[in-house]
Amino acid sequence: MNKNRKRRTRFARDALVVGLALLFLMPVIWVVLSSFKPDAELYLVPPTLLPREPTLANYQNALTVGHFATYTWNSFFVATMSTLIALLTNSMAAFALAKYRFVGRQALFLLTLATIMIPLQVIMVPIFLVLRNLGLTDSLWGIIIPPAATPTGVFLLRQYILSIPDEILESARIDGASEWGIYWRIILPLSVPALATLAIFSFTWRWNDFIWPFIVISSEQKATLQLALARLVGQFGVDWGTLLAATVITLLPMLIVFLLLQRYFLSDLTAGSVKG
């Protein structure tokens, strides 16, 4: 009897918190629901919650007339390439910092960490000038290469590589392995869990980046999703149907990654490294 009541209150509590979470998520839910409504229904007073005549017209418009297929490809290309470069360069640096003793090791490690203190917001003016001098403005490489050297990535991988026993490396050296061979055939395969974590975070950071493309990219056909969305919303007389469908296209990959891997995001071990 008592147990039953306890179970009932616990169920009521669970229902309440889930209900509150859904209410909290209303801004996103409303975007998704609205994106399936035809124009006439979009601005209806009183508004309908669920689309009465669900349509994919907004998505068709966004992908064709709105060029969002191009922007999606640009975002995908940028996030993928930048992540691959980050995995390679960060793991190489992390290997050196974790497994070699050399002059300046501590200084270089601290310098790497110190770059966390310099957010893009602070250097957006001079970085534009540097990229211009290198001919990287209005180029996708201008938003792929600079953010790839993530300090968080180096730190994360270094901590992981430190836990790999030195004996493995020593016996490989005795067997005649080159230093590069040790990195490529021993360190990398053993670091897969940490590399996977970094890959997930790096991809989401780069997919969501806005300030980089905002400063670097000027031509329309090189815009990423974030940049195209921000430009579209600022226009006079916004076509909300197209804009909302484009918003869903932009958030969908993040939503899928998050729901599949939410334990990575919600564990307080990595919580400190989610922004970067």
Partner 1 sequence: MRHKVGRLLTPYLFLAPNMLIFGIFVVLPMVYGLVYSFYRGNFIGGLQQFVGIENYRQLLEDRAFLNSLAQTVVYVLLVVSLVVVISLMLAIALRTTTLGSALARVGFYLPVILSPVVVGVAWRWMFSSDLGVINALLSSLGQSPIPWLTDINWARAVVVLASVWSMVGFYMVIFIGGLNTIPTELYQAAEVDGASPRQQFWQITLPLLAPTTLLVTILATINAFKAFEIILVLTNGGPGDATRLLVQNIYLTAFEGANPTYASAQSVVLFAILMVLTLMQLRVSRDT
Q: Which helix (H) or strand (E) holds 71?
A: helix 68-99
Span from 59-67, 141-149, 163-171, 190-198 in contact with partner 1 (CB under 8 A): 141-149
166 interacts with partner 1 by CB under 8 A? no
Nearer to partner 1, 145 or 164 (CB): 145
Say how far apart CA 149 and CA 110 lie, in whole Å. 14
Span from 54-62, 64-72, 189-197, 237-245 in contact with partner 1 (CB under 8 A): 237-245
Say how far apart CA 40 and CA 248 lie, in whole Å. 20
242 interacts with partner 1 by CB under 8 A? no
Indicate the DSSP class of residue 105: H
Say how far apart CA 67 and CA 241 lie, in whole Å. 14
Say how far apart CA 136 and CA 128 lie, in whole Å. 9
Asked if residue 249 lies in contact with residue 72, where contact means CB atoms within 8 angstroms, the answer is yes
**Shortest Cβ 83–partner 1 spacing (Å):** 14
How many of the chain's residues bind partner 1 (CB under 8 A)?
Answer: 94
Footprint on residues 199-218 left by partner 1 (CB under 8 A): 204, 207-211, 215
Say how far apart CA 155 and CA 181 lie, in whole Å. 22
**Shortest Cβ 17–partner 1 spacing (Å):** 4
What x-and-dash track marks residues 6-25 binding partner 1 by CB under 8 A? ----x--xxxxxx-xxx-xx
252 — phi, psi (to 5°)?
-60, -50
162 interacts with partner 1 by CB under 8 A? no
**Shortest Cβ 176–partner 1 spacing (Å):** 12
What x-and-dash track marks residues 45-84 binding partner 1 by CB under 8 A? xxx-------------------------------------
Out of 57, 81, 124, 199, point to the residue binding partner 1 (CB under 8 A).
124
Closest CA to 261 of 197, 209, 203: 197
276 interacts with partner 1 by CB under 8 A? no
Footprint on residues 86-115 left by partner 1 (CB under 8 A): 88-90, 92-93, 95-97, 100, 102, 105, 108, 111-112, 115
